[in-house]
Structure formats: structure tokens, C-alpha cells
Chains A and B, each alone.
Chain A
């Protein structure tokens, strides 16, 4: 009972502490919403991202096994994190604070929303609102979109951004854009920041020796650098821009890290030979002791026979 009281008191102190350093999210960001509805697909993508990027600190949601950091990361299944609005959660993960890293250049907006969708799956009372239409202060009243295409002969990516108004479609010009390629741990920036031209296009050089999957595919994502002005439109596209690679399992060949049956041959042989040699000598010595025994017995019986005779 006393233990529980002590824990309660500590928790109380902690929460006072927490309030003192509340994490304030700018008002215009609090209400930001996902551009797509959360479903099983987004949740399972989010889970993968979470396991790779967040679990090391935040632990398994619902288990409260997060790292003992100051301030504590908290368990995503609990109110500490669920009390955030979608926009707040997005902002905090994107910008980070103290030991909480910023994921701005690691995760795309879509991926950030996928993590949010996964985290929300631990909140039964959560009802999603989303905003399918992305608008921009530079193009009031318009919906912003972009596409990415591969220009194989020049080995470039071409990004095109446009704004749809009721009056028609216009290119988004003079906007800073960046593109990234998805890698196992984070994202690889491609080329530098580019500015869209009069036709709303920007051209990025594809790096030499870009590894793709077995079909040469890579996932490329594009977004505006200044999302405040041009909006949060982003585009993840699978393009066959990479070299085909056929990853070989690291445990396929004999290796130091492999299981016993796949140990390097030289180490297997050295071990087995060493043991055999050492123990065969030991056995020889044991046989010699037996020899001593037999010799003694034989000679003694011979002697006693002699005496008897």
C-alpha cells in the first residue's frame, strides 16, 4: 500500500513537472489533418515505421516499457500521447524536442500520418477527421497537387506541381521542392532543393548507382520545402529508376555469425581436429595406464607361479 502511495506521489510530482515544460504547438498547426482516411493499410504501414523508428524509445504501445529518459517518452497507447490532436502529434513527431528526435528529414508527411494512424489504433474513442483537399496561401482557393515522373534518357526525375481552381488549372511556380528516396532507415535526399519553373516543373538528377529492388524500383517522394506557403501536398511514387539488386540473405553463406552447421570450414576443421588430437593422446595415455595394470598382474601371477613350483 505504501509503495502504491509513493508511486502516486511521484507521479503527481512528475505531472507537475511536466506541466511546467509543456510542449506548445503553434495554433495554425494544431488543426492540421491527414489528407487520407486511416485504414488497415495505413495502420500496418504505420506499425512498420513505428517499430523501426520509435519503438526503441517509446516501447511497445500498451506495455509502458518506454525508455527511462527525462522527460519520459511515454507510451503511445496512454493519454499522455493520445490527448494530442492529430495536428499536434504530427507536429511533435516532425519537429522533435530534446531527446525526441526530429523526423522531418526521415519520414515523409504521408509516413508521419501513417504513424499517427497506427498510434490512434490504440485509442478506442478516436474518430478521424480528414481533409482530402490541400490548399495553399500562395494559391488561395485552389487544391494543390504534384506528380513525379522518370525521364530515363536523361536519368532525371521530373516533378510537376499545379493548382486546381474553379477557373482552371495553373502551374505552381517558384516553389522550393525536394525529393527523397525511401531507404530502410530513413530517406536519402536526391540532388538539391529545386525551384519549380514557369510550367511548374523541377528536374532532379538521379544519383549514379542507385540501388533499387529486384525490379529496379525505388519509392520516391516529393514535397514542398515551404509547406506553410505552398501547402502539404506530397507524392510518393514507385519508379523504376534504380539498378536491379537481388539481396542475398546474410545467413545464406558460411559465416562467422551463422549457425554451427554454417560455420566457416576452417574454423570447424580447426576445432574438430584440435579436439580429436588432444583426446586421442589422452586416450593413448589411459590405455598406457591399463597397460601398467595388465603388466603388473601378469608378472605377479608369473612370479607366484614360479614360487609355487
Chain B
């Protein structure tokens, strides 16, 4: 099977059946409009909350002198983390020749594009003066992790977008003649975006080269984006952030939340789009194993991250760890570690738990816990700075998110959902071409036997 994955030699009838299954869902129906309407309404409320923040400043949030990074930055880290799954699935597993990821790769890229796109926006919501955003570029310093972060998030978003788009080109070409009854603008968009694709060998070859460049490029980029995100913390001398393993700690954690997000999306498409023929129990079984594996790696990094300072108990680390393990944040900390990591891993080792529905439930818990885990990483270390502060109001030291802040955070989540919705409603969520080929070659093998 050293042939191109974009094999041109395909049974017509297979292509017909696969494309009708998948393209059935490409339409603007009532469900889509109602769902987008609900999202838009909810978003309007969040935007209103944001206008209050814009007018009155960050004082309307729980952010103060000591804890100046709260929910927003936790959400930013969470979004960047989740978007990393695009690289894991398409690149790491794809380049390793793992075949079952074919129908999942595009889903992973949709997740990557949506979360990476909004991650940058979340940063803006954390700015008291968003009008000064251009200053980052005008006066940015090469020494500042903030500049690196802005650069790398933008780059990662572009590459993810192309990793989503390029394998879509053949599908767009296939689909453009099969979209009767869809709105005209959509057909026009397909025509335009399919860039004259006629499935010619030469085109297939070029696309192949482009994909190979991207799949390799995305690996260092994805490592860069999340390592830099971790450096926003680790380059600051603060007990709880001052860690040399923050890069891999973040990246391994990113794979956990990203895989969970992909599983949730897979389940949704399988049930709602009736795609169980392509997203089989076997796919869930396998990605369930991936989730178990990345979670175990993450547990390993967690042990390193907490055991090493807990053994030495340097003065400030001791204060931080006490708050985390037995103090003010203990409840949240242990819930996140146990419910979001240890128990899921134990469950995932049981085969029955890797069936679609149980896996969906586990993933939902894991994904939620992932957000709280970011909160645990971002907020508590700020509550005990090295320079002592005395006799200040308690709310200057201990962070408590406000309603406005929560609403703005939800707004960013709604935007992610909107992007995912648009991408998965206006474009095929599974690779028609590859699946047709896969079915055809599977058929071929059966015939031979």
C-alpha cells in the first residue's frame, strides 16, 4: 500500500455512497439556524458583559494587584492546549502511518482551528486597554514571552487552517456537483475553494508535497505554541510556576484535553450525522486507548511537578503546596487530579468503557477537569508572591471571578462552538475521498480472498 493516499483509482459507486452519506449533512437546515440563533443570543449577552468591562475597566473582574491572571488566562491556556490535538492526530499518528485516524483527522483539525482562533481573542479580553493591542507588535520586545506567544499562536492557527483546508480540496471538488438544493453562495464558495481540482495526478502530487511540509512543520510549531504558553508562567520566578518541566507538563496535558474534545465531537457527529458506518466502535476503542495513554503520561508529569518540590519544601513552595494540597484550593485540586485524571485512566483500562457512550461521558468529565486544571495552574501561585503584602483587603490577594468575567469567558466558548458549527455544517466533517478509497480497497481485498 505504498500508493498515494489520494488514490485516483476508485470505484465510482463507492464514491457515490460515501459522498451521499457525508454530504447529506452539508446543509443549512432548521436545526442549524435555531442552534446558531441560540448561540448568537447567548453571545449577545456575553458581548454586553464585555462592553461593561470595556467601559469600566478590569476592575469589574476579580483581577487585582496580586492575582492579575484569572479565568481569562486559564481559558486561554485551555484553548491553546485543546487545539494541540490537531498536531497529535494528523501529524504524530498520521506520519507514523496509523490508518484508523483517517476519518478523525479532519475532526481534530476543526477542533484545532476553532480553539486556536479564539485563544488569541481570549488574550484580548484580558487586556484593560485592548486598543493598545497593536503596541505588542509596534513595541514588542524579542525578550518577551508575550511576543513569542502572539507570534506562535497566529502561526499555529494558520497552519492548522491549512491542514484542515488542503485535504478538503478534493472533497470540495467532489461535492460541488452534488450540492443541489443548497444555497447559491455555498456552491460558489465550493467552486472557488476547490481551486480547479480535477484529481489529476500532478495535482495529487503537489497536494502531497504541501501536506508533507505542513505535517512536519506543525510538529515543532505545536510544541512551540504550548511550550511558549508554559513559559509565560515558567519564566516568572514564582513558587508554583518556577519549574523546568513546565513545557512537557503543558504539552502532555494538552493532549489529554484535546483528545477528550475530539472524542466528544466524534460522538456528536456519529449520532447526529448518522455516520456510525465510518466512526465505528473500533475508532472509539482506539482513541479511547490514546486518551488513556496520554493521560498516563500526564499523570507522570504531574507526579514530577508536585513530588519534587514537595520533597524539598523550599519555604515558598511549601506555602504554595500547602494551599494546594490541604488548604484553600485542596478541594478543587484533588477533584481535578482524581476525577479528571486518575479515575478516567482506571476506567479507560476497561474495554467496556471504551465504547462510544461511556467514552463520551469520561471525555466530558476529563475536558471539564482540564479547564479547572488550568485554573489551578494559573491562579493559586499568584496568591502568595515573594514580596510580602500586609494589611490589604482580602480580595486583593485572593481571586474570586465575577459574573461579568464568567460571562465573557462563556462568550469565548460560544465563539468556539460557532466556528465548529460553521465548519462542520457547511463542509464535510469526514474526508469523502479518503474514505471512498479506503472502502474500495477494503472491497478489493475481500474480492481477492
Contacts and interface: CB of A to CB of B under 8 A. Distances in A.
Interface of A: 67-70, 99, 256-260, 263-264, 267-268, 271-272, 274-275, 278-279, 281-282, 284-285, 288-289, 291-297, 299-300
Given A259-B141, A289-B210, A279 B155 contact: yes
Contacts of A300: 196, 198
Given A259-B141, A285-B213, A296-B196, 5 more contacts: A278-B159, A285-B166, A292-B169, A295-B196, A299-B202
A20 B216 CA distance: 74
29 contacts: A68-B392, A68-B393, A99-B390, A99-B391, A256-B143, A259-B141, A260-B140, A263-B142, A267-B142, A268-B142, A271-B147, A271-B151, A275-B155, A281-B214, A282-B155, A282-B159, A282-B217, A284-B210, A285-B162, A285-B166, A285-B210, A288-B206, A292-B203, A293-B195, A293-B196, A295-B200, A295-B203, A299-B200, A300-B198
A50 B200 CA distance: 80
A271 B148 contact: yes
B197 A296 contact: yes
Nearest to A254: B143
B139 A260 contact: yes
> Which among A258, A263, A289, A294 has the highest number of chain B CB atoms within 10 Å?
A289
A296 B200 contact: yes
Interface string B279-294: 0000000000000000
Contact of B143 (A67, A263, A288, A299): A263
Interface string B209-229: 110011001000100100000
Interface of B: 139-143, 147-148, 151, 155, 158-159, 162, 166, 169, 195-198, 200, 202-203, 206-207, 209-210, 213-214, 217, 221, 224, 390-393
A300 B351 CA distance: 52
> Which among A272, A282, A300 has the highest number of chain B CB atoms within 10 Å?
A282
B217 A278 contact: yes
A288 B200 contact: no
Given A99-B391, A256-B143, A263-B142, A281 B217 contact: yes
A282 to B, nearest CB: 6
Nearest to B392: A68
Contacts of B391: 67-70, 99
A298 to B, nearest CB: 9
Nearest to A285: B210
A288 B166 CA distance: 10
Nearest to B155: A278
Interface of A is mostly: helix
Contacts of A278: 155, 159, 217, 221
B141 A263 contact: yes
Contact of A267 (B143, B196, B214): B143
The 10 lowest CB-CB distance pairs between A and B, nearest first, are: A296-B196, A288-B210, A293-B195, A263-B142, A260-B141, A285-B210, A268-B142, A271-B142, A69-B391, A281-B217
A278 B203 CA distance: 24
A292 B195 CA distance: 7
B150 to A, nearest CB: 11
B116 to A, nearest CB: 14
Contacts of B202: 295, 299
Contacts of A291: 206
A305 to B, nearest CB: 15
A292 B392 contact: no
Contact of B142 (A69, A260, A288, A292): A260
Contacts of A285: 162, 166, 210, 213-214
Nearest to B139: A260
A257 B144 CA distance: 9
Nearest to B194: A296
Contacts of A294: 196
Contacts of A99: 390-391
A281 B215 CA distance: 11
A17 to B, nearest CB: 15
> Which among B143, B210, B217 has the highest number of chain A CB atoms within 10 Å?
B143
Contacts of A67: 391
Nearest to A270: B142
> Which among B139, B159, B196 has the highest number of chain A CB atoms within 10 Å?
B196
A125 to B, nearest CB: 33
A69 B392 CA distance: 7
Contact of B158 (A70, A282, A295, A296): A282
> Which among A257, A292, A295 has the highest number of chain B CB atoms within 10 Å?
A292
B195 A289 contact: yes
B334 to A, nearest CB: 35
Nearest to A263: B142
A303 to B, nearest CB: 8
B139 A284 contact: no
A275 B148 CA distance: 9
A296 B195 contact: yes
Nearest to A257: B143
A278 B158 CA distance: 11
A274 B224 contact: yes
A297 B202 CA distance: 12
B207 A299 contact: no
B206 A292 contact: yes
A252 B206 CA distance: 51
B299 to A, nearest CB: 31
Contact of A282 (B143, B162, B197): B162
Contacts of B158: 282
A28 B200 CA distance: 104
Nearest to A287: B210
A296 B197 CA distance: 6
Given A264-B143, A278-B221, A281-B217, A296 B159 contact: no
Contacts of A296: 195-198, 200, 203
> Which among B142, B147, B217, B392 has the highest number of chain A CB atoms within 10 Å?
B142
A281 B213 contact: yes
Nearest to B220: A278
Nearest to B198: A296
Nearest to B202: A295
B218 to A, nearest CB: 10
A274 B139 CA distance: 19
Nearest to B165: A289
Contacts of B196: 292-297, 300
Contacts of A289: 166, 169, 195, 210
Contacts of A69: 390-391
B141 A288 contact: no
Contacts of B141: 259-260, 263
A293 B194 CA distance: 8
Contacts of A267: 142-143
A69 to B, nearest CB: 5
Given A68-B391, A259-B141, A288 B221 contact: no
A58 to B, nearest CB: 15
